[in-house]
Chains A and B, each alone.
Chain A
Amino acid sequence: MAYSEEESIKLIEKTKRLEEENADLRRQNEEMASDLIGIQSSFVDSEIRIKRRERIFRIMQALYNDVMRQTRVEDIYDIAVRTLCARMGYERCVVLKSERDVFSPAAYAGYDNFEKYKENFTGKAFSNFFEKKDEGLVVNATNASKYETDFLSVFGAKYFILAPFGVDREYIFFIGNMGEDRIKKPRFSQSDVEVFRLLGSLIASVIKNIELYNGLEQKVAERTREISEKNILLRNEIIERAKAEKTAESALRIKTEFLTNMSHEIRTPMNAIVVMTELALSSNVEPEKIRESLMTIKSASDSLLMIINDILDFSKIEAGMLKLECTQFNLHDVLKKIYDIFYCKAFTKKIKFCVTAAHKVPAILKGDPLRLEQILVNLVSNAIKFTSEGEVSLSVSVESENISDDSAIFSFCVKDTGIGIEKNDMPNLFTSFHQIDNSVTRKYGGTGLGLAISKKLSELMNGEISIESVPGTGTSFYFKARFKTLREKNAGGTSGLDLSRAQAPCEKNSYEERLASILATGEKKVLIVEDNHINQYIILALFQDAAIPAEVASNGLEAVEAVKKNYYSAILMDIQMPIMDGYTATRLIRQSEHGRFIPIIAVTAHAMKEELDRCIEAGMNDYVTKPIDTELLFEKMGRWMSDKRVSRNANGNGGVNGRIPPDEIYIPGIDSAGAIARAGGNKDVFIRVLKNFCEDYSETSQKIRFMLAKGEFEAARNLSHSIKGVSGNISAGRLYIASRAVNEILKGADLSNMEEAMKEFETALSEVIKGINSSAIFHAGLPDKNDKEDAEDFMSAVARMDMFLKNNDFNAISYFKKFERSAGTKVSPAEISELSSKLEKLNFKGCRKILENIARKLGISIGVV
């Protein structure tokens, strides 16, 4: 195809134009592409920045949370620099603190050896920078001024940032010190400064808060302290008041309990006195009943008096009216006294009682012996009261000695095997008016003042009382006090004391011996100890009138000698006598073999309580005052020579002072009072028993000799054994001892002492037999029944008695006399006496047991009738 020139030119032009347009477009395109790249890159850049900001924000937030929890400014700085290094990539950071233009590093991070640079941060070196740089400063080695380069070289750094912060801009700066590039962006920019400033203001606000808080806290603390001080005071007061209230309350309670107790203790005997007096005063009452009433009144009055004495003693101490004496005394005397007072009681309770003092314990002391004694008496009496078996011991030892002032701390220990004390009860033990509980009071009686009195006394002596106890096993009371000691001139120490061997009442043999000595009444007389001849005459006459054999000793020493040689049924002891007074004599008699149990009645001119107490303490049983009231004397003798029941029942039979006429009662070789007691107080039974004895045993000595001659040792031994038992029952003391001696020899192989023993036995036996046969008591004769009738009577009596007992019927008491009469000799006096004493205590069940035994032995069946 062909184109015209014109056409060609047009085409060329067109092409040119197109080419130009094309180039233009390309350029435009290129420009656009380049623009796009620019846009793209700036977009990426801002994305990085945004990300970095986000990151900083997150770190700040985390930091803020961390910092918020801090309470110490130092910790906040520390966290800030550590965070900057660890999380934001700065190599080293330091917080500078300024105080009047003097700088010092407060925290740092990223340094291996900060000590090396520490100097450089300290001082005024920075002040030039900071004066004008309010908004912070970035220095890079590349664009640093000369001054700045010097500054960088000091820290061996290529870059740093300084950012002031703080409320008053007065003290704190950051320095970001870049030695090596560790982050991608080697150069610091203003944005880094901003990070620092942001961080700075954050920290500043937290610090401000902390300061505010601390200030507040301090105020609060002060206030709290004040309040809590007041609180403590208040609380203490409350506690004190509560305590006081409690004390008052418990004191009140204890006092109320005490009053209740006292009320009971006083009212019970008062009741007996009121009712019994009423009964005695009412018309047409038999004399016997009146006497019974009076006996009850007497014993009730005695217990009232005891209670009143206790209360008075206690009040005296409480009122501070009690002064201690300081005299020389012998400790052994005190201990012996205690022993004398209690061995009888311990013996009758069948518990062992011993008093011991160790070898080195000084005996001569200075102090108040009476009060020491009172404390010991109290502790021992409690121990015995609350011990039903085993033993009670009082031992003395020296705990420590002080040679310079010749004093020593003595430890007295009273140990028992009694009921013991619960731990809870111990603190209350010594409280005035306190007793462990009502039932204890009821079972054991007493006012509850004893230990309180002892404790107060021990305090007056500068001593103390303590206690150890295991319930059910026993109790130990310790009393410790200091006494001055006086060394005896004849050196060699003090020998100890042991009052247990002398007595040991619980060993079977010695118990029997003692029983024997009680029964050994063969030729019993009353011993009158009196120095005044006229008095001797008067008292002797009294006894002669009553046909009671009596002897006179003119002073204490004579009395002691007489007791060693003879048995006496009782001793009347004058107090003031030449050579040896009544107290000493009594003590010596109590220590002698025969004298332990003889009733000793003091005859004293003074009715002063102190003197009477001394009599009892010396070991006397009772006292009468001069001029002697005969009736009272005989009543007291009667009471102590046998048991209460005897004198009561026996008195019903008339005669002197209501007693069995002495010509009837006096049977040589027999303690008729004791025997009647064994016969349950029934004279008829007593006579029957004696009659039987004569029939059965009058030939015993011949029989034994005959058996011995034939070599029938066993038979002889059996016979001697049975007469021993019977003689005990009829209270033939001498015969009892003699037959026991024979029996003992027959138990062994050695018969060398047999002849002597048999001779004594024969004498004693014939004395008793003759005595019984010649006694007026038998001439009255007895109504004899035939045996069969007797047995039937008795069977029904047993059944009837049993029925009364079974039903708790009080008729048992009045029926007992009939029962006893009907029993005659079928029931042993011991059983009758046991029945009677159980019945007196209204122990119906105990009585039934005995009755069942009796019935079984006699082949009677109970319960059929």
Chain B
Amino acid sequence: MKKILIVDDDPVNIMIFAEALESEGYKILAATSGEEALECASREENKPDFVLLDIIMPGIGGYEVCKMMKSNEKTRDITVMFMTGIEMRNLEYIKSIGAVDCLVKPFDFDLLAKKIKKYLEPGSPE
């Protein structure tokens, strides 16, 4: 069972996707801050395969979290996808720091599920 870590300082945002993604057959981990996300990602057991990462958070922001994960041997292989309420995101930058994509809120769940599937199971038909 693939594990998805959802990181957002607003727990409601996590709740929104968690249950729906659970029903898609993923195991969901949750973190409400960048610090917690890093801690969670660096655990050997229960390491997430995919991180859905909010950009703007108090404390360590999403971009920082991504950079730190990508610079750490143990967490480098985790797929990172951003989600944000800010329209003005820079996909080029996002890719340059090692993330695969960015979804702008509000997005519907189908799109999210599709994207996750695409990145987690590259061979699967879209």
Genuine A/B complex: yes
A-B contact count (CB 8 A): 107
B13 close to chain A: CB less than 8 A: yes
Q: Are A275 and B9 in contact (CB under 8 A)?
A: no
Q: Are A273 and B106 in contact (CB under 8 A)?
A: yes
Point out the residue from A263, A807, A841 that lies within 8 Å of B87, measured CB to CB. Answer: A263
Q: Are A279 and B20 in contact (CB under 8 A)?
A: yes
Within 8 A of B (CB), among A434-473: 438-439, 442-443
A198 close to chain B: CB less than 8 A: no
**CB closest chain-A residue, reference B17:** A275
Q: Are A274 and B108 in contact (CB under 8 A)?
A: yes
Q: Are B46 and A807 in contact (CB under 8 A)?
A: yes
Alpha-carbon distance A260/B88, docked complex (angstroms): 7
**CB closest chain-B residue, reference A444:** B58
Q: Are A842 and B30 in contact (CB under 8 A)?
A: yes
A residues less than 8 Å from B40 (CB atoms): 807-808
CB distance from B25 to the nearest CB of A (A): 14
Alpha-carbon distance A272/B8, docked complex (angstroms): 13
B residues less than 8 Å from A442 (CB atoms): 9, 56-58
Q: Are B5 and A278 in contact (CB under 8 A)?
A: no
A296 and B109 in contact, given A809-B29, A842-B32 (Cβ under 8 angstroms): no
CB distance from A267 to the nearest CB of B (A): 4
**CB closest chain-B residue, reference A839:** B11
A271 and B58 in contact, given A808-B5, A810-B28, A841-B32 (Cβ under 8 angstroms): no
Taken residue by residue from 258 to 282, chain A's Cβ proximity to chain B (1 for < 8 Å, 0 otherwise) reads as: 0110011111101111111011000
Interface bin, chain B: 35 or more
A residues less than 8 Å from B9 (CB atoms): 442
Alpha-carbon distance A438/B105, docked complex (angstroms): 17
Point out the residue from A263, A275, A807, A842 that lies within 8 Å of B11, measured CB to CB. Answer: A842
Alpha-carbon distance A279/B112, docked complex (angstroms): 14
Within 8 A of B (CB), among A816-840: 840
Alpha-carbon distance A267/B86, docked complex (angstroms): 8
Within 8 A of A (CB), among B31-78: 31-32, 36, 40, 43, 45-46, 56-59
Q: Are A270 and B105 in contact (CB under 8 A)?
A: yes
Q: Are A275 and B29 in contact (CB under 8 A)?
A: no
A843 close to chain B: CB less than 8 A: yes
Q: Are A443 and B29 in contact (CB under 8 A)?
A: no
Q: Are B16 and A438 in contact (CB under 8 A)?
A: no
Q: Are A843 and B106 in contact (CB under 8 A)?
A: no
A residues less than 8 Å from B13 (CB atoms): 268, 271-272
CB distance from A806 to the nearest CB of B (A): 9
CB distance from B87 to the nearest CB of A (A): 5
B27 close to chain A: CB less than 8 A: yes
Alpha-carbon distance A493/B87, docked complex (angstroms): 59
CB distance from A274 to the nearest CB of B (A): 4
A residues less than 8 Å from B6 (CB atoms): 810
Q: Are B107 and A271 in contact (CB under 8 A)?
A: yes
Alpha-carbon distance A93/B11, docked complex (angstroms): 102
B residues less than 8 Å from A845 (CB atoms): 36
Alpha-carbon distance A259/B27, docked complex (angstroms): 35
Alpha-carbon distance A300/B106, docked complex (angstroms): 12
Alpha-carbon distance A403/B98, docked complex (angstroms): 72
Within 8 A of B (CB), among A789-811: 807-811
Q: Which of A276, A438, A842 has the most CB of B within 10 A?
A: A842
B104 close to chain A: CB less than 8 A: yes
**CB closest chain-B residue, reference A289:** B19
B residues less than 8 Å from A439 (CB atoms): 56-59
Q: Are B106 and A275 in contact (CB under 8 A)?
A: yes
Q: Are A275 and B16 in contact (CB under 8 A)?
A: yes
A268 and B105 in contact, given A260-B86, A263-B86, A279-B20 (Cβ under 8 angstroms): yes
Interface of B is mostly: mixed
B10 close to chain A: CB less than 8 A: yes
Q: Which of B40, B46, B56, B59 has the most CB of A within 10 A?
A: B56
Alpha-carbon distance A808/B45, docked complex (angstroms): 12
A residues less than 8 Å from B12 (CB atoms): 272, 296, 300
A residues less than 8 Å from B18 (CB atoms): 810, 813
B residues less than 8 Å from A272 (CB atoms): 12-13, 16, 106
Alpha-carbon distance A841/B14, docked complex (angstroms): 10
Alpha-carbon distance A289/B31, docked complex (angstroms): 23
B residues less than 8 Å from A296 (CB atoms): 12, 15-16
A267 and B105 in contact, given A276-B16, A279-B20, A809-B27 (Cβ under 8 angstroms): yes
Q: Are B56 and A810 in contact (CB under 8 A)?
A: no
Alpha-carbon distance A842/B19, docked complex (angstroms): 14
CB distance from B22 to the nearest CB of A (A): 7
Alpha-carbon distance A272/B57, docked complex (angstroms): 17
A residues less than 8 Å from B106 (CB atoms): 267, 270-275
Q: Which of B46, B58, B104 has the most CB of A within 10 A?
A: B58
Alpha-carbon distance A273/B31, docked complex (angstroms): 22
A residues less than 8 Å from B30 (CB atoms): 808-810, 842, 844
Alpha-carbon distance A415/B22, docked complex (angstroms): 48
CB distance from B69 to the nearest CB of A (A): 15
A residues less than 8 Å from B32 (CB atoms): 841-843
A residues less than 8 Å from B17 (CB atoms): 275
CB distance from B5 to the nearest CB of A (A): 7
**CB closest chain-A residue, reference B37:** A808
CB distance from B31 to the nearest CB of A (A): 5
Point out the residue from B16, B28, B46, B87 that lies within 8 Å of A271, measured CB to CB. Answer: B16
**CB closest chain-B residue, reference A440:** B58
Q: Which of A270, A840, A844 has the most CB of B within 10 A?
A: A844
B residues less than 8 Å from A275 (CB atoms): 16-17, 20, 106, 108-109
Q: Are A840 and B11 in contact (CB under 8 A)?
A: yes
Q: Are B46 and A809 in contact (CB under 8 A)?
A: yes
A residues less than 8 Å from B87 (CB atoms): 259-260, 263, 267
Alpha-carbon distance A233/B10, docked complex (angstroms): 54
Alpha-carbon distance A840/B12, docked complex (angstroms): 9
Taken residue by residue from 364 to 380, chain A's Cβ proximity to chain B (1 for < 8 Å, 0 otherwise) reads as: 00000000000000000
B residues less than 8 Å from A813 (CB atoms): 15, 18
B residues less than 8 Å from A843 (CB atoms): 32
Q: Are B109 and A279 in contact (CB under 8 A)?
A: yes
Q: Which of B5, B36, B105, B107 has the most CB of A within 10 A?
A: B105
Q: Are A810 and B22 in contact (CB under 8 A)?
A: yes
Alpha-carbon distance A273/B12, docked complex (angstroms): 11
Q: Are A264 and B58 in contact (CB under 8 A)?
A: no
A residues less than 8 Å from B85 (CB atoms): 263-268, 271
CB distance from B7 to the nearest CB of A (A): 10
Alpha-carbon distance A256/B88, docked complex (angstroms): 10
Point out the residue from B43, B56, B59 that lies within 8 Å of A264, measured CB to CB. Answer: B56
Taken residue by residue from 381 to 397, chain A's Cβ proximity to chain B (1 for < 8 Å, 0 otherwise) reads as: 00000000000000000
**CB closest chain-A residue, reference B10:** A268
Point out the residue from A259, A260, A810, A841 that lies within 8 Å of B29, measured CB to CB. Answer: A810
Alpha-carbon distance A268/B15, docked complex (angstroms): 13
CB distance from B100 to the nearest CB of A (A): 20
Alpha-carbon distance A210/B5, docked complex (angstroms): 88
**CB closest chain-A residue, reference B36:** A808
**CB closest chain-A residue, reference B105:** A271
Q: Which of B12, B14, B15, B32 has the most CB of A within 10 A?
A: B12
Alpha-carbon distance A58/B72, docked complex (angstroms): 86
B residues less than 8 Å from A263 (CB atoms): 85-88
Not counting A807-B45, A810-B18, A842-B30, a sample of 19 additional A-B residue pairs whose C-beta atoms are within 8 angstroms of each other reads: A259-B87, A260-B86, A263-B86, A263-B87, A267-B86, A267-B106, A271-B16, A271-B85, A272-B16, A274-B108, A275-B109, A276-B16, A296-B16, A442-B57, A808-B5, A808-B30, A810-B27, A841-B11, A845-B36
A-B contact pairs, 29 of them (CB 8 A): A260-B87, A263-B86, A263-B87, A264-B85, A268-B105, A271-B13, A271-B105, A272-B13, A272-B106, A275-B16, A275-B20, A279-B20, A296-B15, A296-B16, A439-B58, A442-B9, A807-B40, A808-B5, A808-B29, A808-B30, A809-B28, A809-B29, A809-B46, A810-B28, A810-B29, A841-B32, A842-B14, A843-B32, A844-B36
- Residues of A at the B interface (CB closer than 8 Å) are 256, 259-260, 263-268, 270-276, 278-279, 296, 300, 438-439, 442-443, 807-811, 813, 840-845
